[in-house]
Amino acid sequence: MMGAIGKISNTDYLDFKRVFNRKTEKFMTLLDKKLQPILSFKNMAWRTANVTSKSPATFSAFYFYDDDKNIHINKYPNINFNFDEYGMNLSFNSEIKSSMKYMLKAMKKRSGEFDKRAVKIDGFDCLLFFKIQYQPMNNFVWDLVPGFPVPISIFKSRDIIRAIDLFEEQWANFKNTRLFQMKSGMIRHSSGRLYNEKEIAFAGAKNKKPIYAMRISKQYPAPQIAEKKKKISLFFKEEILKLKPIVELVVS
């Protein structure tokens, strides 16, 4: 089914996505039973993407909460699955300011322990993104900070913090480059259209400082996923176990 995402006709797309989401929900239910005892250091629930979304990709996530499970899914860094035509991506994911705050706090105040745990995560990369907001709410153009991704096996907290400092020194240049690319059509909206004058003006005025997102992630090609068949939830239980030491350090 992943191979069909992004290729199916618009007429059949939402019906297809409803079926895909039902399969995703079954996958998350099976995985949740395996993870609840393992990730019991904090309350955890899960969600899948809105079935009415027009995006050709979709996602599901395990998220952490205090007393109210209806908090924003990204308040804390979450364990996120992205599904697209190429396969699946698993990440320990910080997408907004509040979740980035927890990630950066752990890297700054417990850098030695963070690095010690990070280098043991086999096969994952650290990705640091910056975002340009072009409309209110969740409307961003994403791009990687130069130098990323970095293999987690050579991860150092001090290098991440330094990369952020250097990037912020050059923010005006990066921002102007992205605005030019949006104006010229070198970067387009996910629908394929050009960004309009109102969106460009909003982006120019809004983004006075960089907004970051960070993922410790790994990509799994669709054929690799397909061959796991009914063992897929057990496979990802083991993959998430690799992330557990970092997850526990950051969110507990």
**For the residues 21-35, what does the mean pLDDT come to?**
94
Q: Is 20 left (phi over 0), alpha (psi -120 to 50) or beta?
A: alpha
Q: What are phi and psi of 85, to 5 degrees?
A: -70, -15
pLDDT at 192: 83
pLDDT of amino acid 86: 85
Amino acid occupying residue 185:
G
Residue 155 binned pLDDT confidence (cut-offs 50, 70, 90):
confident
Average pLDDT over the chain, rounded to an integer: 92
Separation between Cα atoms, residue 42 and residue 248, nearest integer Å:
8
Q: What is the reported pTM?
A: 0.89
Nearest-CA neighbor of 82 among 53, 102, 122, 104?
53
Q: Using one digit for the tens of pLDDT, what is the confidence trace for 14-25?
A: 788 888 889 999
Whether the predicted pLDDT of 5 surpasses 90: no
